[in-house]
A and B are shown apart, each in its own frame.
Chain A
Amino acid sequence: MDHKYINSMLSQMDKDLAAKGMSRREAMKLAGISGAGMFMGATNASANEKEEIKEVKSGVKGKIVIVGGGLAGMSTARRLLNFLDNPDITVIEPEALSVSYQPGQTLVGGGIWDIDDIRVKRDDYIPDGVKIIKEKVIDFHPQINELTTAEGTVVKYDYLVLATGLHLDFERIKGLENAGRAMSAGDNSKLLKAMGDDGICSIYTAEGAAATWTQMQKFIEKAKNKKDGEKVQFVFTHPNTPVKCGGAPKKILNLANARLKEAGARGNAELSFYPNGGVMFGVPQYHDAIVGQFKREGYKWYYRHNLIEVDKEKKIATFDSKWQEKGPFDPIMRDFEVVSKHEKVRVPYDFLHVTPPQLAPREIAESDLGSAKGWVPVNKETLQHIRYDNVFAIGDVAQVPMGKTGGSVRKQYKVLVTNLIARMEGKKLPAKYAGYTVCPLITTIGTVMLAEFNWTREPTPSFPLDPTVERWMWWLMKIHLLKPMTVVGMIQTGRA
C-alpha cells in the first residue's frame, strides 16, 4: 500500500475536519457506521428489499448447488447457512483466489494498493458445512437437474444457483488474439504476454492491474522528460458490451491524471477517452457531473468509438466509429432518412488502457441455461430463471440490467436467498431486487463521487449529501471500508 497517499490524504482530511471542529477519530467512526449503510443503500432500500429482522431458520430440505465461488457464490452459500436448519450446499469453484477483491484492482492499477492487498483465498472462506468441489463445470443438463465438470464428476442437484461471473474477451480485439479470454483472478500470464511491455494494459485482471501500474509509471516518466513540445498520449477505452463496474474505465483515467499531476508532467500529456456509447453514464445527473469533471481536468473524449484492433509495433489503436447522417428525402414519409455510417479511426497511443469486451462464459452461453446474448435469463426482480424454476442466477452472469457490480451483488444475494428458500417451501417468491447499483467513481487521489442508482435511472443516494459532488469521505470508504465490508461482512457472515 502506498502510505504516502494515505498520509497526505489524511492530513488534508484533518484540515477539513478541524474547520468543522471534529477529530479524525470521530469522523472515521461516523464514516464507519454510516459507511456500512451507505454501501448497502440501507436508508433508501425499498420495503421489499428490507432485511428480515429475525433470522428464522427453515426446515426445508434439498440439495443446493452453486456454480462459481466468487463474491456472489460464496456470500450466497454463507447466507443460506443462516436460514436453513438442514443445509445441503455445494459450491463448485476451481480458482484458488476466487474471492479476491476485484474493486481493488483499480487502486492497484493506480499504484495505491499492491496486488497482495486484494488477493483473497477461496479456502480461507469456505464456511463450515458447505461442501466444495474444486473443479470447473463444463456441461449443464437442466432437464435432468445434473451437471458435469471437466474432470468428469457428475453432480445432481435439486436447486441450482449460477454465479460464474463473466469472461473478459480480449481475443476479440485484432492484435490481441493471443491473449485468449480471461477471468479476473488467477494466472493471467498468457494475457500479459500478449499485451506486451509497451504501454498496453488493463486493470480488468488482478495481475493486469499490477502491470498497469508498471506501464503507467513508465509513460509518466516519459512525459516528465519530454522536451520537444509533443504530448505523450494516454488513451482509455470502453467496449460495446456490458462491462462489470462501468465506472472502472474512467477511474483509471482519473488516477493516471492524478499521478501525472503529482509528477509535474501533466502539461506534457494528453488524456483521451474513447467510449463506445454516446454518454458518460446512464444516469443524467451523473453524466453531467462527469462531463463537468472531464472539462475541468482538460481531458478529450470521443463518443461512439469501439476498439477493434491494436497494432503493437506502430502503436496505433483502431476504433470503429459510428455516426448518423441526414440521408435522401423520402417522398412517402415526407422526411429525410437517417443513414447510419461508420468508419475506422486510427489513434496513435503511447499508453493504452483496454477495457475488454465482456461476455458470459461459453459453458453457460451455449447451454440451455443461457440466452441468445449468453447471459442467464432471469426475472430481473426475483432472480429466478425464466424457464427452469429451480434455477437462479446472481452477479455478473445474470441478465439483469445495469447490475454488474459488487454493490448489486450485495443487494441480490439477500433477494436470492429469500426467494430460493420460498421456492423450496413451495411458496410464492416474496423478495424483489430493484436494480440498485453503486459505483464509487474515483475522481482523483483522495476523492470519490459515489454514484448510486437503480432502474429508475434516478440517483438513489443512501446518504443525505449531494451524490454528484466528489468527496474525500467516499474515498475513505473505498480505501478503508468497502473491502472489509465485502470480504468479512458478505463472504464471512452472509449478513452485511
Chain B
Amino acid sequence: MKKIILSALVASVALVAADKTPIYKSGMLLPPQPKVIYEQQCAQCHGMDGKQTSFKGSSTVVYSPITGLNADALAKELKEYRGGIKSKDYGPLQKYGYGALMKTSLTDLSWEEIDSLSQWISNNLK
C-alpha cells in the first residue's frame, strides 16, 4: 500500500510541474494526433487551410489544393506514397507526382496515423 501511495504522489507531483507542453511525434506508438501531424508534415507546402498551391524553395513547385478530399481515397494514396518502410521493393511512387518528397514526409507515419490524418484532412479542409 505504501508503495502505491508513494507512486501516486510522485505521479501527481509530475502532473502539476510547471512548463508542460505535451509533445507529439509520429512513429512512436502514441495515439495519433492528426492535427499535429498535419502541422508538422503537411502545412509547410499545403498551408493550414489546404489551399496553398505552390512552394518556393530552391525552385518553385506547383500542385493542387487538398480540400474536399475523400478520406479513404486519400489514405490509400498516402499509403502508396509511403510504401513499406525498409523493403527495397517499394521505391517512391511517381503516380501522383512529388513521390520522393511525399515519401519523406510520410515515412515515419504508421498506417493508423495515415488513416487518422486522412480523416482529419477530409473533415477539416473544405
Contacts and interface: CB of A to CB of B under 8 A. Distances in A.
Given A123-B4, A128-B2, A132-B7, A180 B29 contact: yes
The 7 closest A-B pairs by CB, nearest first: A152-B20, A180-B110, A152-B21, A131-B10, A152-B22, A132-B7, A177-B111
A172 B87 contact: yes
A174 interface: yes
A187 B14 CA distance: 24
29 contacts: A123-B3, A126-B3, A128-B6, A131-B7, A131-B10, A132-B7, A134-B7, A135-B14, A138-B24, A139-B23, A139-B25, A150-B24, A151-B14, A152-B22, A153-B14, A153-B17, A167-B29, A171-B110, A171-B111, A172-B85, A174-B87, A177-B84, A177-B111, A178-B111, A180-B29, A180-B111, A190-B112, A308-B87, A308-B89
B35 interface: no
B93 to A, nearest CB: 14
A136 interface: yes
A133 interface: yes
B30 interface: yes
Contacts of A136: 28, 30
Contacts, number: 88
Contacts of A151: 14-15, 20, 22
Contacts of A363: 25, 28
A364 to B, nearest CB: 10
A151 B15 CA distance: 9
Interface in A131-156: 131-136, 138-139, 148, 150-154
Interface in B1-47: 2-4, 6-7, 10-11, 14-15, 17, 19-25, 27-30
Contacts of A167: 29
A153 B108 CA distance: 23
A180 B19 contact: no
Interface of B: 2-4, 6-7, 10-11, 14-15, 17, 19-25, 27-30, 79, 84-87, 89, 108, 110-112
Contacts of A126: 3, 6-7
Contact of A132 (B10, B17, B86): B10
B17 A180 contact: no
Nearest to B90: A174
A300 interface: no
Contacts of A174: 84, 87, 89
A183 B30 contact: no
A136 B31 CA distance: 12
A362 interface: yes
Most buried by A among B4, B7, B19, B24: B7
Contacts of B89: 174, 308
Contacts of B21: 152
Given A132-B7, A152-B23, A172-B85, A362 B111 contact: no
Contacts of A183: 29
